[in-house]
Amino acid sequence: MILLSDGSNNAGVLDPMEAAEIAKKNNTIIYTVGIGAGEMQVREFFMTRTVNTAEDLDERALIDIAELTGGQYFRARNAKELSTIYDTINALQPVQQATQSWRPKTEWFFVPTFIALLLLAMTLMIRRSHV
């Protein structure tokens, strides 16, 4: 499993370390990826301001989750680093059997549409005959 996060626990009822314990019990390896570029300059209409995109990054939590489950922690500051991380994880944990499945897709929207049009036509004919 790949956990792409800033590590900040701001939602859910389950503590991240409890979830990691459950993953460990089920022999699930979690590779954690901390995201955020750090400080960067953002141009606004009249000025430029400095924004820290990694301000909420909790690297300690991400490292602990990865270590607990036998995975590794990675840090991604941009899209290129993220791509490299995915390649590294793929080399560490290759997919044993990649399967592809197709699901038949049949559109059925025309059935209720046809019925609605048929009922509308019948209603119009009945109203005309009563006028």
- Cα–Cα distance between 86 and 88 in angstroms, integer? 5
Angle at 20 between CA 4 and CA 6, to 5 degrees: 30
pLDDT, averaged across the chain: 81
- Cα–Cα distance between 38 and 14 in angstroms, integer? 28
Residue spans of beta strands (DSSP E) within the chain: 2-5, 31-35, 39-43, 48-52, 73-76
What is the pLDDT confidence band of residue 115, given thresholds at 50, 70 and 90? Answer: very high
Please write the tens of the pLDDT for every residue from 116-126. Answer: 999 999 999 99
Please write the tens of the pLDDT for every residue from 53-103. Answer: 556 677 788 888 888 888 888 888 788 888 888 888 888 877 777 677 777
- Describe the strand order of the beta sheet including 31-35 as a list of residue ranges: 2-5, 31-35, 73-76
Element (H, E) at 70: none
Question: Shortest CA distance to 58 belongs to which of 115, 7, 109?
Answer: 7
Q: List domains and CATH numbers for the chain.
A: 2-92 (3.40.50.410)
